[in-house]
Amino acid sequence: MADLDFTDAGVVITGAGSGIGRSMALEFARQGARVLVADINGDAAQKVVDEIEAQGGTGRSRAVDVTDSDSVSALADEAFEYLGRVDVLCNNAGVTWRPFRAVWNATLADFRWMTEVNYFGVVHGVLAFLPRMRAQAGHKHIVNTSSLATLSTTPGHAPYTASKHAVDGLSDVLREELIDHGDDFGVTVLYPGLITTNIGETSKAVRRQQTDTDLSDAIAYEQIRSFDYPHNQPKPPDNVGKQVIEAIRRNDPYCITHPAPADQLEERKNLWIRGYRGH
């Protein structure tokens, strides 16, 4: 696996017009892959393709709305036609909310919208690409973007965290199913910590475009506890592409951009185990 070569590989990345997806697109292209750069913002996707071409790489842009299964199926059709094969699919498009809100100040629209993009966006990608990828020879890989919010509970961020937990569950089960069936097919969950992207602003813009709800009357969450954890130290997105490619080469199930919150994970693990008190 360590010698996995991305020269001429076919790579598809959603939400690749900005931030973490852009970092992955540029890095895959540097490795020699041909990249289909997909984003709801087609102009932003094309700008990333311009950057890929300026660094001597090859790519194509496509507008896609990951909440729409037909749109993602059309992306898959174009991907297999343009690239010939899809070696790596990165289901990365995602949205959040600003300001954070308590569950008691959240609306059904908040939960539905974040679930549609963050979870069903991944479901649509998996269902549209997986059968044709499984039929190919050689190593295949899906990278699903979750969040460190699922490893470290963040008050004020419930709809987002819940949608990302669904991504974790889908990815973990899919990986085991592929292992059980002898597929040469890895599934990596990407857990970004705090990465300095435009996610707050892009989320507001996409939400206005997709729904008739907005956050203008949001009641901000009153943060009580400290969030001074290593994974909340901001990092630029530039290195995330490299981290993802190394994780694919090692066939790692998890790729974390910041130090894992070991104490919190340990405490949760112990509480789960102690949850059974016998009968």
Instruction: Assess contact for 90 and 12: CB atoms under 8 A.
Output: yes
CA atoms within 13 A on the CB side of 86: 29
H/E stretch holding 4 = none
Does the protein bind ligand NAD through residue 156 (CB under 6 A)?
Answer: no
Does the protein bind ligand NAD through residue 110 (CB under 6 A)?
Answer: no
Rounded to the nearest whole angstrom, what is the least distance from the CB of residue 60 to ligand NAD in the complex? Answer: 16
Q: What angle separates helix 121-134 from helix 69-83, to the nearest 10 degrees?
A: 40
Does the protein bind ligand NAD through residue 114 (CB under 6 A)?
Answer: no
Give the integer Cα–Cα distance in Å for 168 and 15. 18
By CB under 6 A, name the one of 66, 90, 248, 255 that touches ligand NAD.
66
Joined together, the tokens standing for residue 77 give 């059709």
Cβ nearer to ligand NAD, comparing 188 with 197: 197
Going from the C-alpha of 207 to that of each of 114, 199, 211, 213, the distances in angstroms are 9, 12, 6, 7
By CB under 6 A, name the one of 10, 57, 94, 159 that touches ligand NAD.
94
In the chain, the amino acid numbered 12 is: V
Instruction: Assess contact for 194 and 232: CB atoms under 8 A.
Output: yes
Would you call 119 a catalytic residue per the annotation? no
Of 12-20, 128-136, 219-227, 244-252, the segment contacting ligand NAD by CB under 6 A is 12-20
By CB under 6 A, name the one of 152, 161, 197, 243 that touches ligand NAD.
197
Give the integer Cα–Cα distance in Å for 189 and 182. 20
User: Of these residues, 119, 160, 191, 221, which one is catalytic?
Assistant: 160
Per-residue interface string for the shown chain with ligand NAD, residues 165-194, x marking contact by CB under 6 A: ---------------------------x-x
Give the integer Cα–Cα distance in Å for 261 and 215. 30
By CB under 6 A, name the one of 27, 65, 87, 110 that touches ligand NAD.
65
Nearest residue to 149 (alpha-carbon basis) of 130, 129, 166, 132: 166
Rounded to the nearest whole angstrom, what is the least distance from the CB of residue 256 to ligand NAD in the complex? Answer: 10
Does the protein bind ligand NAD through residue 14 (CB under 6 A)?
Answer: yes
Instruction: Show which residues are catalytic.
Output: 160
> Which residues sit at the interface with ligand NAD, rule CB under 6 A?
14-15, 17-21, 39-41, 44, 64-67, 92-96, 117, 145, 147, 192, 194-195, 197-199, 202, 206
